[in-house]
Structure 1
Amino acid sequence: MGKILVLAEKPSVGRDLAKVLKANNNKGAYIEGNKYVVTWALGHLVGLQDPEGYDEKYKTWSMETLPMLPKYMKLTVLKKTSKQFYEVKKLLNRNDIDEIVIATDAGREGELVARWIIEKAGVKKPIKRLWISSQTDKAILDGFKNLKPGSQYENLYKAAVCRAEADWIVGLNATRALTCKHNAQLSAGRVQSPTLAMIVNREEEIKNFIPKDYYTVLAKANSFSLTYVNKDNNGRIFNEDAANSIVNKTRGKDGEVVSITETPKKKFAPALYDLTELQRDANRIWGYSAKQTLSIMQRLYENHKVLTYPRTDSRYISRDIVGTLEERLKAISVGQYRSIASEILRGKINAHKGFVDDSKVSDHHAIIPTEQKPNTVNFSSEERNIYDLVVKRFLSVMLPPFEYIQTNIAADINGERFIAKGQVIKSKGWKVVYSKEDIEDSPKDDDIKEQVLPKLNKGDKIKINSINLNKGQTKPPARFNEGTLLSAMENPQKYVNVNKEAAKTLNETGGLGTVATRADIIEKLFNSFVIEKKGKEIVPTSKGKQLIELVPNELKSPLLTAKWESRLDAISKGKESDTSFIKEMKNYSIALIESIKGDNSKFIHDNKTGKKCPNCGKYLLEVKGKNGVMNVCQDRECGYKENVSRTTNARCPECKKKLEVRGQGDGKIYVCTGANCNFREKAAQFEKRFDKKGKVDKREVNNIMKKMKKEAEDFNNNPFAALLGNIKIEDK
């Protein structure tokens, strides 16, 4: 009787699968049992070959060799992880292996990870697919009872290959063309270019914005105030004389209540989290980057097994999950969530359309807690924060709506209309789960504030104590932060000028990139120094602004990539041909190269330092990374870089602000970032405090490190936090 080979995406998931499948003979690169052999990739083990692999001439970057359009794309084993690939290949080809179960992440990229390995290994054995949304033992067992035939995911694989090949054909050609034409490291791509274009356009809008003065008129009564509005209910007056005439007309006069409207209102809880919404909230509340949130989420899904699959774009659950809600609620009935979870469990769970909708779930449902009880003692503070958000949202959709009475009072003061607004809360409903800071209410009209209003009737006289004129100024649009940039990538039609039909396409196709790739795209823009951070705000660098001038118009448009995503989706559903899509990508690439070749614009390095590269003698460029300043060689082929300064997590022993490390080698020093603190110390001296002499057992060191890292997170004034942050703890 032959065995079944299970291929996971990562070692940690492989170990979990092996445990459930009762395979316990650990052979290093795989774990073997009586029936199953479990092995794993380390992310991608196989990728598309670099241009150099097709032809010697591509080793030199030059315009003459562009566009690069291989007839058939070849796969190559990635050098970094080749050892694991050959181990997996050996297993795939083993005579006693009769069947392969793909158990990589249940999504487009996960499919690609496994299929490319199988293809490169040249194996033609029957394939089954494990498709699960959580990593609990129960979910894994259920998944293995319901394995799907591999053929069901053939089109998903085709779509994944098309995505990878399109990014190669368009991205590598455009990047080489721009780099060769302008002799600068310039990168372009179907998602990164339109994303950068939105950031650059926003900066232009801010630069060209001319603020306008406006006035509001405020009438103060004994216990509340009223605001003047015109016949369109607008309180802003853009003419000073008109504003003064209203003040003169109403000053010293009393008011009369013309109307009172009391409207009972219900506000339902926001929908469950998909990845983008979770990344947005984590950025707004704690300033986490999109990449950071995804990796915290991944740990809660894979290691702690308390949340479901992170890379989802759905904010609903399907009908088949409803039966598991009770078990999930029981699992989270701990600590601060116990009373609310118990309250929901005591009644009948109302699985309403607000969170249960099969038509709004494609590959994966929204992120929700699993049936596994959390051991929150083992969570880092970041993990606790993200877990907390998901649990609160999960509880809130099962609670009644927030109910209040909206009261609007309109009064007449000598022929002019003034209004006041107030809210009386009837029932907090789902809002009991949240503290005020956690909830992002939709932005209200700043000029008319909500207040507590007295009990009044129509026809009542109001004693007006004073009439005041307030001056304000219109504000430019806000710069993006990581949270709002994710919103713009998800719904670019709200941020760029496109016609109705294009806006409809963008709306239907889910915008720029996918939930799984957006965080990487933002990181890529930071790492190629086309954007930088000022506080929480994202601003384009000079390089970014110039790059957008040089990138052909169509590649900058979010419409192009949205159309591509919609076609990739059609390919994954078997509604469109993969070959015709790739053919079009090649034609597009040819047009793109022509457009770049024919452009006469110039690129200017305006961030040159006075320092020359020690390798090639060209002037170094000063660039700002996410965590500090670096000097990099302007010559792409040289690639020399050095740190100038980097913000660390180490805390100043005097004022507890973060320390910056500056300089190289012996001249390296730690300097406090606090405005009024002069602490500075040689790195050798500073690091000596934490030096450990003598050899210690590796496992013991790992345990000490983990313990210290945990303590450092719980007490972030501890200077160990920084030093430990840079040490890799081996995954045993």
Structure 2
Amino acid sequence: MKLVLAEKPSVAMSLSKVIGANQRGDGYMEGNGYIVSWCVGHLVELSQPEAYDEKYAKWRYDDLPILPEHWQYQVSTSTKKQFGILKKLMLRKDVKSLICATDAGREGELIFRLVYHQCGCKKPVERLWISSMEDSAIREGFQKLRPGTEYDALYEAALCRERADWIVGINATRLFSCLYGQTLNVGRVMTPTLAMVVMRDAAIRAFKPEPFYSAELKFRDFQAGGERMKEKAEAEKLVAECCQAGSAIITKVEQKEKSEKPPALFDLTSLQREANRQLGFTAQQTLDYTQALYEKKLVTYPRTDSRYLTDDMAPLVPELVSVIQQSFQIQPDVPAPVNAAQVINSKKVTDHHAIIPTKTAAGHDISSLPSGEQAILIMLAVRLICAVGTPCRYAETIVEAECAGQKFRTKGKTVTDMGWRQYAGRSSEDAEKNAEACNLPELSEGMTLELAGVDLKEGKTSPPKRFTEDLLLSAMESASSDEFPAGVERKGIGTPATRAAIIEKLVQKGFIERRGDKKTKYLCSTDKGNALVTVVPEQIQSPSMTADWEEKLLKIEHGEYDSDAFMGEISSMVNGLVKTYEAVKGADVLMQPERKVIGSCPACGSDVCETVKGWFCRDKSCKFALWKENRFFQTLGKQMTEELAKQLVNQGKARLTHCYSRKSNRYYDTTVRVETGEDGAAAFKLEFGGKK
């Protein structure tokens, strides 16, 4: 009998169906020589500092740094029952070996190994490594099981990542919290990410727009612009001279045939960026939707950093493109060309290939999916068709004219072959590009053209753009990339699998907030975030050091770097930080911003004010509170944000969309109402179509 351990119940059920384990037990499936069970997230986690010594239960500066010699683990309180089931199954005498079938990546390996070791299991292990949940992929994976020892280095890297985050998070958070008298969460990746947002906002605040001026010549069929000038009088003088001249001479007509290559397939980060740009989805929403599609067998594994397919997939591409094009009605009357070689490159695939729809998706009723999943699936289908297409070809014409001794310039663009773009649709970004280039009449050098008019154009220099999730993900991905040698496999901070969670944690902890309209949300630093970055030393907030750690973790994963050396670097850095850091003078003023009032308490009428941990009634005898880490909303897959708190306080209710049900593995919309008891304590109720 073989024990198969999956990461989630839904995945376990899919595996059970394929391998014939159809008999249900308490927390597992059994049959055909297999037992299939599952974890529920991280069943086993690192112990808190007080497990090493009771004195660590209180946060004291004198107890730092906390650097465990022998790491301790504990079973998560919420998952003890399932852990007990797994331990019994592992110890069953008829179970001769195990199959690790958790997600095929660093975190999936960690989840399995921690449970395996915590149970004291010594039985041999094989590894199931698949990139699709389709039945055919599962069968093939079970036929090609690999020895678990081949993934020891992956486990080692996962351990280093987890323990490094613990050491930096525990020590730095306690250090700054003790010195500044309030909870200041610090993280190995979280704080450098916050620093990028804070620095961008500071640059925007410090930016002083400067006016500029230019003259624009107007001809019968087009316009041509001159150079920018700082002085308005100088531009006005040029306008007057051009008006007096009355005509311009064409001095240059340059025509070039250009082409735009098809886009690459999506990895997780590029998919998150595109979904944020086009649909306004957060990075976490995109990951959740794509993970749900993966578990429904409709797309391949989402947590990938590759944008290519493996060489052995080349024969499968033409048929997949054909069925996806017809099923999703992507220009169905214009059969898409299939240049498979453009998306095939095994050398650029690490653990998993790019995210693509599966053949199962072609036969699925897409209308039955939640709207968010539909949008992501369509985006993936369109990208597959475009990626194997032909280049978009166009003719670009650059024209220069001379008037009153000055040069004026314009550009024209004519598409000669739409290529892959005929399947892509039009985005706002395309519209902006096309607006910059107009169709030009036939022109030749030496022509003299009469002016229809001359305009004075005024403008101002623009500040740096605020971070959207699209731009922040890009910044995280490329952070300090110029400091790495060419050919380095992964640059930046965080990984495709963790960046969304980092952004969400920064929002949850109140360091950044989302502002803007429904579709375009900007990530802005809060007073708390600004204060933290002001007092945290460069070594903690440096993207370059964190990016260097990420690269070393990848080398550990490949067996090219010593894990003990990496952990030694982390411990040495934290030890030095604790011993040498001194509190910034005057920071107490920075750390205590004026409390923001969001409304009147629904229980007693006093002001409801924001604090570090939530929104509370100013009257201390009243128990009304909306905690930022609110368990009720966390079970819905939501967080208590300022906007949500305002609605609950001022309207007594709020509309929630894209709530997640773990039980049914589906998303839904609902209305939440807040009610208060005699002591003012808040209670929440959900309403569906008017029913509670």
2:193 corresponds in structure 1 to: 195
Q: Note closer, same or farther for the CA distance 1:47–1:670 as it changes in structure 2 (3 Å cut).
A: closer
Selected match of 2:495 from 511, 514, 525: 514
Selected match of 2:346 from 358, 375, 378: 358
| 1:427 and 2:410 aligned | no
The C-alpha deviation readout for 1:355-391, integer Å capped at 9, x for no partner, is 2222211111111111213321321111111011111
Q: Note closer, same or farther for the CA distance 1:599–1:39 as it changes in structure 2 (3 Å cut).
A: same
1:681 corresponds in structure 2 to: none
1:370 corresponds in structure 2 to: 358
Q: Note closer, same or farther for the CA distance 1:722–1:400 as it changes in structure 2 (3 Å cut).
A: farther
2:370 corresponds in structure 1 to: 380
Q: Note closer, same or farther for the CA distance 1:64–1:661 as it changes in structure 2 (3 Å cut).
A: closer
Q: How far did residue 342 of structure 1 move?
A: 7.5
- Aligned pairs for 1:432-447 (under 5 A) are 432-437=422-427, 440-441=429-430
- Aligned pairs for 1:154-233 (under 5 A) are 154-228=152-226
Q: How far did residue 418 of structure 1 move?
A: 1.4
1:24 corresponds in structure 2 to: 22
1:642 corresponds in structure 2 to: 626
Where 1:251 maps in the other structure, the secondary structure is helix
1:476 corresponds in structure 2 to: 463
Note if contact 1:643-1:663 (Cα within 8 Å) is conserved in structure 2. Answer: no
Note if contact 2:193-2:476 (Cα within 8 Å) is conserved in structure 1. Answer: yes
The C-alpha deviation readout for 1:158-193, integer Å capped at 9, x for no partner, is 000000000011111101111111121101111111
1:669 corresponds in structure 2 to: 652
CA–CA distance in 2 between the matches of 1:602 and 1:302?
A: 49
TM-score by length of 2: 0.86
- Aligned pairs for 1:577-596 (under 5 A) are 577-596=562-581
- Aligned pairs for 1:459-470 (under 5 A) are 459-470=446-457
Q: Which amino acid aligns with 1:642?
A: L
2:388 corresponds in structure 1 to: 398
CA–CA distance in 1 between the matches of 2:691 and 2:111?
A: 28
Where 1:84 maps in the other structure, the secondary structure is helix
CA–CA distance in 2 between the matches of 1:393 and 1:609?
A: 45
Q: Note closer, same or farther for the CA distance 1:506–1:41 as it changes in structure 2 (3 Å cut).
A: same
Q: CA RMSD in A?
A: 3.3
The C-alpha deviation readout for 1:106-155, integer Å capped at 9, x for no partner, is 00000000010001011111111011101000100010111111111000
Note if contact 1:190-1:560 (Cα within 8 Å) is conserved in structure 2. Answer: no
2:660 corresponds in structure 1 to: none
1:544 corresponds in structure 2 to: 529
The C-alpha deviation readout for 1:554-598, integer Å capped at 9, x for no partner, is 010001111111111111111111112112211111112224455
Note if contact 2:212-2:229 (Cα within 8 Å) is conserved in structure 1. Answer: yes
CA–CA distance in 2 between the matches of 1:29 and 1:443?
A: 55
Note if contact 1:105-1:111 (Cα within 8 Å) is conserved in structure 2. Answer: yes
CA–CA distance in 1 between the matches of 2:541 and 2:50?
A: 27
Q: Note closer, same or farther for the CA distance 1:724–1:355 as it changes in structure 2 (3 Å cut).
A: farther
Selected match of 1:288 from 272, 281, 286: 281
The C-alpha deviation readout for 1:209-232, integer Å capped at 9, x for no partner, is 11111012111111111112xxxx
1:248 corresponds in structure 2 to: 240
Where 2:376 maps in the other structure, the secondary structure is helix
Q: Note closer, same or farther for the CA distance 1:612–1:670 as it changes in structure 2 (3 Å cut).
A: closer
CA–CA distance in 2 between the matches of 1:70 and 1:710?
A: 45
| 1:119 and 2:88 aligned | no
Note if contact 1:551-1:596 (Cα within 8 Å) is conserved in structure 2. Answer: no
Note if contact 2:385-2:423 (Cα within 8 Å) is conserved in structure 1. Answer: yes
TM-score by length of 1: 0.82
Q: Note closer, same or farther for the CA distance 1:516–1:632 as it changes in structure 2 (3 Å cut).
A: farther
Q: How far did residue 461 of structure 1 move?
A: 1.8
Structure 1: gaps (5+ residues): 229-234, 495-499, 614-618, 649-657, 674-701, 713-720
Where 2:307 maps in the other structure, the secondary structure is coil
Instruction: Pick which of 5-14 and 43-52 moved more.
Output: 43-52
Where 1:457 maps in the other structure, the secondary structure is coil
- Aligned pairs for 1:32-47 (under 5 A) are 32-47=30-45
CA–CA distance in 1 between the matches of 2:184 and 2:670?
A: 43
Selected match of 2:549 from 556, 561, 564: 564
Q: How far did residue 443 of structure 1 move?
A: 7.5
The C-alpha deviation readout for 1:638-660, integer Å capped at 9, x for no partner, is x994269x9x9xxxxxxxxx998
Selected match of 1:485 from 449, 460, 472: 472
1:684 corresponds in structure 2 to: none
Q: Which amino acid aligns with 1:492?
A: A
Q: Note closer, same or farther for the CA distance 1:659–1:170 as it changes in structure 2 (3 Å cut).
A: closer
Q: Note closer, same or farther for the CA distance 1:142–1:84 as it changes in structure 2 (3 Å cut).
A: same
1:452 corresponds in structure 2 to: 439
2:256 corresponds in structure 1 to: 263
Q: How far did residue 351 of structure 1 move?
A: 2.1
The C-alpha deviation readout for 1:211-256, integer Å capped at 9, x for no partner, is 111012111111111112xxxxxx3212223322322221132112
Note if contact 1:329-1:341 (Cα within 8 Å) is conserved in structure 2. Answer: no
2:126 corresponds in structure 1 to: 128
Note if contact 1:177-1:597 (Cα within 8 Å) is conserved in structure 2. Answer: no
| 1:273 and 2:257 aligned | no
Structure 2: gaps (5+ residues): 602-606, 634-642, 657-662, 672-684
CA–CA distance in 1 between the matches of 2:109 and 2:689?
A: 33
Q: How far did residue 331 of structure 1 move?
A: 3.9
Q: Which amino acid aligns with 1:561?
A: T
Selected match of 2:64 from 63, 66, 79: 66
